[in-house]
C-alpha cells in the first residue's frame, strides 16, 4: 500500500532539463568571445536578467548570492525580495536542497537593452578570463623526489632538452606552481613537488600564457575551454547540457498552454505529468494520470482538477476527496480559455475584490486602478499584503508604462498584464519609430517666496524671456512719462509688461493705449489666476487637474492618474504645473515619456 497521497511525478525532470538547456554555453576555438544565455523575468515593472542555477551539495546559498550580479552587490535586501518573488517554489532560503533549480536575479534591465529581451531569453557574448595558476594546477601532477633526481632532469624529460625555448618555458611553469622551492639545486628525496604536464604545450592557448618578454602572465582571456584534468570540488555554476536521451523542448513547436499561463500568473503549481496515488482501503490505490487530468495546486492549498474528453467517475472523485475534501473539478481543459481559467482561480475567493478597482491619493495625486481581477497576495518585503491587479490585454502596445508599474509597486500594488488574443500570445514590441518622443530631464523647480519670484520662474521655465525692472516711457496728459516695469517676450514675438502694483489708474490705461500689453498681478492672486492672466490665448490652452491613462487602452481596464495643478498646452510641447516640491521620480519619468515637462513649486499664499 502507498502512503496517503505521495506524488510520483515521472516527468518532472523535463522542466529542469528545459531550464538548464536555456543556459547552454557555446565555445568557439580561435574566438575570444563566448556566449551565454540568460532568462529575463519581469518583477514590478523591471525586466530582471536571471541566471538559472542548479543547487549543488555543500553550496552556501548566501555566499553564492553575494557573488552574483549587480543587484546583490548594490542592495542585498532588495535582491532577496526579488529572488523570493521570482522563485515562489522556494519557501525558505535556508532549506534549499541540492538539485533544486533557482533563478538568481543579476541585473535590472531597461526595455530593449538586449536583442530577444521581450521573448524572455537573451544571449550575451563575453570573454572568459582565467587565472594562470588555476590552469597550471589542472595541467600538473604531484611527484615525489627520488634519490638522484634533479629538477633540470625531470623538466628536460617533460619539455625537451636543457636550454631550449620549450625547456625554459617549462621551468617558468615549474617555478610558478612550486613557489616554496627557491633554490632548484636544493631538493631532497621524499620531497613532494608539482610537475607541469607536457600536454599543456599542445593547447591552442599555451602561447598566450606568456607576455612579449617571455614572462608568465597572471590571467589570460581563453579562446578555448580548459579541460578539467583532475577531480575538484567546484561549487561554482556548472552547465548541464541535455544529452540525446533527455527530453528536449522546442518553443516554436510547443507553445505554453493557457493552463500553464494561468498557473504562472497566480503563482500556482501546474501538475500535468506523472501520477498521483490515492489510498483505497481494501483495494488497489486509485491512480490519477496527470497527463489526462492536469492539476492546479493553489497557494492556499486548494486543488483544481481539469477534465476534457476523459471524465472522472463519481467513485474516483470520492477517493480523491477522501484526501482533498475541497477539491474542485473543472470541465473543458485544455480548450478552456485563459479568461475562464483565471475566473475559476480568482472569482468568489475571499482574497479577491469583487469591484475590481482600487483608489488612493498620494500628495494630491489621485490614482484609480481598474483590472479584470484584483486579489491580495503575500508580500515578501512588507508586513502588509500586496494587491495583485491582473488584466488581459490585446497586444504589447497596451502594456502599462513601466514607470507607473514601479510607482504602484511602491504602494504595494502589483500590475500583471497578459498579452492575449484568443489562442494567440504575442510578445512583439513597439518599433522605436512609433514611440512617443520623451523628455529625460528632471522637473524644473521654482523657488516661490513671493508672487514676483513665482511669476518670473514660471515664465522662464515656459521659455519666455523675462527682463525685470526696465525703464519704459508712455504719453500721459500730453507729456512723456517715465516709469519702470518688467518686460516679458515670447518666441512668437509677443511682448507684455508684468506689473506687481507699481502702476495705478490712468497710467495703466495710457500704456495700453500706446500699444503695449500689460498684466497686473496682485499679492492675493492664486496660481490659477496668474496663469490665466499671463498666458496668451488661443495659442496656449490651460486645463485644470489633468488626467492621464497609464496605458494605451480603454479606461475601463486601465490606471488613471489625476494630477493637481494645470496642463499647459503650448502646441508642440506640453507642460504640467504641479504644486508639490517632492514629486515621485517614477511619476516624473512617466510624464517625460509622454513628452511633458514638469514644473514644481511650493505654495506662496
pLDDT, tens only, 446-505: 877 788 888 888 888 878 888 988 888 878 777 888 888 889 887 767 788 898 888 877
* Structural domain boundaries, residue 72: 25-128
For position 174, which CATH number holds? 3.10.350
Residues 66, 149, single domain; the answer is: no
Distance CA 360, CA 11 (A): 46
Cis bond upstream, residue 334 (ω within 30):
yes
Q: pLDDT tier at 400 (50, 70, 90 boundaries)?
A: very high
Range of lowest pLDDT (341-355, 419-433, 544-558): 419-433
Confidence of residue 121 (pLDDT cuts 50, 70, 90): confident
Contact 518, 508 (CB under 8 A): yes
| Residue that terminates a domain, selected from 221, 244, 267 | 221
pLDDT band at 354 (very low <50, low <70, confident <90, very high): low
DSSP 283-348: SPPEEEETTTS-EEE-TTS-EEEEESSS---HHHHHHHHHH-TT-EEEESTTSS-HHHHHHHHHTT
pLDDT for 567 beyond 70: yes
Asked whether residue 90 is assigned to any structural domain, the reply reads yes
Whole-number Å distance between alpha carbons of 533 and 335: 63
Statement: residue 342 has pLDDT above 60 = yes
For residue 189, report the phi and psi dihedrals to the nearest 5 degrees.
-60, 135
Confidence of residue 172 (pLDDT cuts 50, 70, 90): very high
Residue 355 located in a structural domain: no
How far does the chain reach from its first CA to its final CA, in angstroms?
82
Measured in residues, the chain has a length of 605
pTM (2 decimals)? Answer: 0.56
Contacts of 305 (CB under 8 A, 6+ apart): 288, 293, 294, 295, 312, 320, 327, 328, 329, 330
pLDDT tens digit sequence for 228-286: 333 333 322 222 333 333 333 333 333 457 788 788 777 788 888 888 888 877 778 88
* Domain termination site, one of 200, 221, 242: 221
Q: Supply the angle between the helices 402-409 and 585-593 in degrees, to the nearest 10.
A: 160
Residue whose C-alpha cell reads 493552463 in the numeric block: 259
Q: Average pLDDT for residues 22-46, to the nearest whole number? A: 61
Strands 465-476 and 479-489: antiparallel
Q: Are residues 103 and 160 in the same domain?
A: no
Q: How confident is the model at residue 33 (pLDDT cuts 50, 70, 90)?
A: low
Higher-scoring residue by pLDDT: 393, 16: 393
Q: Are residues 143 and 108 in the same domain?
A: no
pLDDT of 440 higher than 70: no
Residue 372 and residue 390 in contact, taking contact as beta carbons nearer than 8 Å: yes
Are the beta carbons of 105 and 49 closer than 8 angstroms? yes
Q: Same domain for 213 and 168?
A: yes
User: Does residue 104 share a domain with residue 41?
Assistant: yes
In a domain, 235, yes or no: no
Let me know whether 29 and 123 are in one domain. yes
Tell me the C-alpha to C-alpha distance, in Å, between residue 252 and each of 238, 256, 369, 490: 27, 10, 35, 58
Which of 188, 221, 254 marks a domain boundary? 221
Q: Are residues 98 and 154 in the same domain?
A: no
442 lies in some domain: no
Indicate if 33 and 122 belong to the same structural domain: yes
| Total domains present in the chain | 2
Residue 193: pLDDT band with limits 50, 70, 90: very high
Q: What is the pLDDT of residue 515?
A: 79
> Who has greater pLDDT, 529 or 549?
549
Least confident span in 124-133, 188-197, 384-393: 124-133
Please state the φ and ψ torsions of residue 400, each to the nearest 5 degrees: -65, 145
Q: Do 150 and 64 sit in the same domain of this protein?
A: no
pLDDT above 90: percentage of residues in the chain: 12
Q: Is the residue at 493 inside a domain? A: no
Q: Residue 221's pLDDT is what?
A: 62
Task: For residues 125-146, give the mean pLDDT.
Answer: 80
Does residue 549 register a pLDDT over 70?
yes
Q: Is residue 39 part of a domain?
A: yes
When pLDDT is averaged across residues 520-529 and rounded to a whole number, the result is 84
Cβ-Cβ contacts under 8 Å for 374 (sequence gap 6 or more):
352, 353, 356, 357, 358, 387, 388, 389, 390
Q: Alpha-carbon dihedral of residues 342, 344, 350, 356, nearest 10 degrees?
A: 50
Confidence (pLDDT) at 307: 82
- The reply to whether 202 falls in a domain is yes
Q: Which helix (H) or strand (E) holds 511?
A: helix 505-513
% of the chain residues with pLDDT over 70: 78
Q: What average pLDDT does this structure show over 394-410?
A: 90
pLDDT at 517 over 60: yes
Q: What are phi and psi of 364, to 5 degrees?
A: 90, -15
Q: 379-392: per-residue pLDDT in tens?
A: 655 566 678 898 98
pLDDT digits (tens, 9 = 90+) for 91-111: 777 778 888 889 999 988 887
Within a domain: 194:
yes
Calculate the average pLDDT of the chain: 76
347 Cβ partners below 8 Å, 6+ apart?
A: 373
Instruction: Report the chain's C-alpha Rg in angstroms.
Output: 36
Which value, to the nearest 10 degrees, does the dihedral of the CA atoms of residues 85, 89, 94, 96 take?
-130
* Placement of cell 607576455 in the chain: 211
- pLDDT for 531 equals 82
Judge whether 304 and 39 are in contact, CB under 8 Å: no
**273 contacts 290 by C-beta, under 8 angstroms:** yes
Mean pLDDT of the 149-168 span: 87
- Do 198 and 217 fall into the same domain? yes
What gap in Å lies between CA 516 and CA 195, rounded to an integer?
96
152 and 122, same domain (yes or no) = no
Residue 82: which residues within 8 A CB-CB, separation 6 or more? Answer: 43, 48, 71, 105
Question: 115 and 163: one domain?
Answer: no
Amino acid at each position: 500500500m502507498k502512503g496517503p497521497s505521495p506524488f510520483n511525478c515521472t516527468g518532472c525532470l523535463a522542466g529542469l532539463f528545459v531550464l538548464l538547456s536555456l543556459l547552454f554555453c557555446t565555445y568557439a576555438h580561435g574566438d575570444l568571445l563566448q556566449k551565454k544565455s540568460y532568462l529575463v523575468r519581469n518583477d514590478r515593472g523591471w525586466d530582471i536578467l536571471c541566471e538559472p542555477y542548479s543547487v549543488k551539495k555543500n553550496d552556501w546559498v548566501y555566499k553564492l548570492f553575494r557573488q552574483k550580479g549587480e543587484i546583490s552587490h548594490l542592495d542585498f535586501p532588495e535582491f532577496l525580495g526579488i529572488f523570493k518573488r521570482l522563485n515562489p517554489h522556494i519557501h525558505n532560503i535556508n532549506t534549499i536542497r541540492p538539485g533544486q533549480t533557482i533563478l538568481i536575479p543579476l541585473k535590472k534591465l531597461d526595455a530593449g537593452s538586449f536583442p530577444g529581451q521581450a521573448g524572455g531569453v537573451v544571449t550575451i557574448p563575453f570573454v572568459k578570463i582565467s587565472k594562470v595558476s588555476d590552469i597550471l594546477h589542472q595541467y600538473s601532477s604531484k611527484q615525489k623526489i627520488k634519490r638522484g633526481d634533479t629538477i633540470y632532469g625531470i623538466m628536460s624529460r617533460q619539455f625537451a632538452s636543457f636550454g631550449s625555448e620549450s625547456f625554459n618555458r617549462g621551468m617558468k611553469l615549474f617555478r610558478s606552481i612550486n613557489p616554496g622551492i627557491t633554490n632548484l639545486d636544493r631538493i631532497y628525496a621524499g620531497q613532494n613537488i608539482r610537475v607541469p604536464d607536457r600536454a599543456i604545450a599542445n593547447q591552442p592557448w599555451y602561447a598566450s600564457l606568456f607576455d612579449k618578454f617571455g614572462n608568465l602572465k597572471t590571467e589570460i582571456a581563453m579562446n578555448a575551454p580548459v579541460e578539467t584534468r583532475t577531480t575538484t570540488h567546484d561549487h561554482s555554476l556548472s552547465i548541464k547540457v541535455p544529452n540525446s536521451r533527455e527530453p528536449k523542448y522546442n518553443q516554436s513547436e510547443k507553445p505554453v498552454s493557457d493552463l500553464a499561463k494561468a498557473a504562472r500568473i497566480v503563482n500556482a503549481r501546474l501538475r500535468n505529468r506523472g501520477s498521483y496515488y490515492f489510498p483505497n482501503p481494501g483495494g488497489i490505490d486509485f491512480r490519477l494520470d496527470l497527463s489526462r487530468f492536469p492539476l492546479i495546486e493553489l497557494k492556499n492549498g486548494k486543488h483544481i482538477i481539469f477534465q476534457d474528453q476523459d471524465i472522472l467517475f463519481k467513485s474516483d472523485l470520492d477517493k480523491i476527496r477522501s484526501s482533498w475534501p475541497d477539491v474542485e473539478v473543472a470541465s473543458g481543459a485544455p480548450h478552456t480559455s485563459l479568461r475562464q481559467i483565471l475566473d475559476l482561480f480568482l472569482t468568489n475567493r475571499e482574497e479577491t475584490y469583487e469591484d475590481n478597482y482600487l483608489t488612493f491619493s498620494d500628495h494630491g495625486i489621485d490614482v484609480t486602478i481598474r483590472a479584470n481581477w484584483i486579489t491580495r497576495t503575500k508580500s515578501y518585503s512588507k508586513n502588509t499584503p500586496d494587491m495583485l491587479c491582473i488584466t488581459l490585454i490585446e497586444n504589447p502596445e497596451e502594456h502599462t508604462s513601466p514607470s507607473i508599474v514601479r510607482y504602484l509597486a511602491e504602494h504595494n500594488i502589483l500590475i500583471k498584464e497578459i498579452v492575449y488574443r484568443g489562442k494567440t500570445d504575442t510578445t512583439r514590441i513597439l518599433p522605436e519609430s512609433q514611440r512617443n518622443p520623451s523628455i529625460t530631464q528632471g522637473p524644473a523647480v521654482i523657488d516661490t517666496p513671493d508672487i514676483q519670484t513665482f511669476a518670473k520662474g514660471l515664465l522662464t521655465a515656459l521659455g519666455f524671456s523675462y527682463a525685470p525692472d526696465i525703464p519704459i516711457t508712455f504719453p500721459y496728459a500730453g507729456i512723456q512719462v517715465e516709469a519702470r516695469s518688467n518686460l516679458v517676450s515670447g518666441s512668437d514675438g509677443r511682448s507684455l509688461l508684468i506689473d506687481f502694483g507699481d502702476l495705478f489708474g490712468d497710467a495703466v490705461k495710457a500704456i495700453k493705449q500706446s500699444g503695449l500689453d500689460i498684466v497686473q498681478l496682485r499679492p492675493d492672486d492664486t496660481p490659477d489666476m496668474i496663469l490665466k492672466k499671463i498666458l496668451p490665448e488661443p495659442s496656449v490652452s490651460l486645463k485644470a487637474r489633468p488626467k492621464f491613462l497609464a496605458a494605451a487602452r480603454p479606461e475601463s481596464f486601465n490606471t488613471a492618474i489625476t494630477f493637481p495643478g494645470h496642463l499647459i498646452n503650448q502646441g508642440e510641447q506640453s507642460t504640467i504645473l504641479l504644486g508639490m516640491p517632492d514629486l515621485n521620480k517614477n511619476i516624473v519619468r512617466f510624464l517625460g515619456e509622454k513628452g511633458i515637462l514638469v514644473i514644481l513649486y511650493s505654495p506662496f499664499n
